[in-house]
Structure 1
Amino acid sequence: MLRPMTIEPERQNGVGAHDGFQRLWTPHRMAYIQGENKPTGPEAGDGCPFCGIPEMSDQDALIVARGKHVYAVLNLYPYNGGHLMVVPYRHLADYTELDGPETAELAELTKRAMVALRKASGAHGFNIGLNQGSAAGAGIAAHLHQHIVPRWGGDANFMPIVGHTRVLPQLLADTRQLLADAWPVD
């Protein structure tokens, strides 16, 4: 089960008195800040991470489930613990470019993601959506991906609002395993 994290006060280091501040270290965010894993262009061969992910093992890629046309993967830079994305294997940018089987499977894996997140983490609700184009907030606009963000009552505390920092209580690999174990099968 995903659990909240406590922040420990920094211990006195022998150089001076404790300053009373608590510190939350999030070094994994530096990759996102510096634009790591961003494609260099709009084509599949331009370093699109969503095209490379399926070539990796589920554990290394943080893939929770694979379908015939789409796969579900944890977001490397999540808004909340358990933030998943459902991504078509085919490199396309716009929802209207999906064919019928891709559209149906994207919807089906989204439903299964919700079931798995409720089972693994007791999610109270979800934000589900597609950001179509960089003007709409798509970090990787060239490859369609649908976000499934679990939400809990009170999960928007002072950290994201004042500190512009999300607190994630669990390693992504551990979250991936919980969700893979909770994933519903046919």
Structure 2
Amino acid sequence: MIQNIEKKIKLAFAISLGSFLTSLAVVVAVCVFAYSLVNEQRKNIYVLDHNVPVLVRQTDQGTNREVEYASHVNIFHLLFFTLPPDDEYIKNNLSKAMYLVDDTGLAQYNNLKEKGYYNSILASSALLTIQTDSVVVDENRHFRYYAKQRIERPTSIATRALITEGDLQDVPRTENNPHGLIIKNWKTVLNKDLDYVEKKNF
């Protein structure tokens, strides 16, 4: 009789201990899950768009940084080399481009201006556009930009190969520089004619 009571006590104790350990494991699992869920929710930011909450996801600065490198270089060159025969448009584009580059970009702009490059575009009603071929950025954030530039005048169309290079440096993100990068030591490596076609006059 006493042995049966002892067995029952041991069984009850084992069941109680098992229940306690199971409950403890469940509590720990719930705490871990809740903690990870809270951390995930902290990455979510809601902004109001006309009183409608819109979910915006917060990411680390390093996320997709390689994509931002190429995008920054591409946008700068599009602004700097897309030049229609419109003085205000040219000034506006170049003003935006100067936020993305250091004084080497300004020096090249001033050099072209002194040579009458922009005046010749206006005088000849030329339209300059650029088509990016590729942007190569190495581990030291040194880039090479490959593109073709199209120069269309009333009497002709010329195509040039353009290669430039420079370095990328992190800077604070601003409205005028959303990628938080600036191009340094920028220079033109190659700028040569590939094709020249005269327009037919009817």
User: One fold, TM greater than 0.5?
Assistant: no
Bigger radius of gyration: 2
Structure 1 or 2: larger helix share? Answer: 2
Bigger relative contact order, structure 1 or 2, given CA contacts below 8 A and separation 6+? 1
Q: TM-score, normalised by structure 1?
A: 0.25
Structure 1 or 2: larger strand share? Answer: 2
